[in-house]
Structure 1
Amino acid sequence: MTRRQAIFPANRHALYEEHGYSAAIRSDDLLFVSGQVGSRSDGTPEPDFSAQVELAFSNLEATLHAGGCSFDDIVDVTTFHTDPETQFPAIMEVKQRVFNQRPYPNWTAIGVNWLAGFDFEIKVIARVPSAQ
Structure 2
Amino acid sequence: MTKLALEIPPNSEIFDGTRQLFENFGFSPAVRAGGLLFISGQVGLRPDGSIPETIEEQTECAFQRTQEILRLSGLDFSDLVEVVSYHVDMAVNMPGFLSVKKAFTMKPYPAWSMVGIAALARPAFKIEIRSVAAFRS
Task: Report the TM-score, using the length of structure 2 for normalisation.
Answer: 0.85
C-alpha contact 2:82 2:133 (8 A) present in aligned 1 = yes
Match for residue 81 of structure 2?
75
| Structure 2 residue matching 1:116: 3-state secondary structure | coil
User: Where does structure 1 lack aligned partners over 5 or more consecutive residues?
Assistant: none
CA-to-aligned-CA distance 1:56-93 (integer Å, 9 cap, x gap): 10001001111121000000010000011111111111
Comparing 14-23 and 24-33, the one that deviates more = 14-23
Percent of aligned pairs sharing the same letter: 37
Match for residue 7 of structure 2?
8
Comparing 68-77 and 37-46, the one that deviates more = 37-46
User: Where does structure 2 lack aligned partners over 5 or more consecutive residues?
Assistant: none
Q: How many residues align?
A: 128
Work out the CA distance in 2 between the residues paired with 1:44 and 1:113: 21
The equivalences for 1:1-132 within 5 A come to 1-2=1-2, 4-10=3-9, 11=12, 12=15, 13=18, 14-101=20-107, 103-117=108-122, 118-130=125-137
Work out the CA distance in 1 between the residues paired with 2:70 and 2:7: 9
Comparing 6-15 and 103-112, the one that deviates more = 6-15
Work out the CA distance in 1 between the residues paired with 2:116 and 2:56: 17
Work out the CA distance in 2 between the residues paired with 1:97 and 1:45: 21
The amino acid across from 2:120 in the alignment is L
C-alpha contact 1:15 1:43 (8 A) present in aligned 2 = no
Comparing 71-80 and 88-97, the one that deviates more = 88-97
Task: Report the TM-score, using the length of structure 1 for normalisation.
Answer: 0.88
Work out the CA distance in 2 between the residues paired with 1:17 and 1:46: 23
CA RMSD in angstroms, aligned pairs only: 1.5
Task: Return the offset for 1:45.
Answer: 2.2
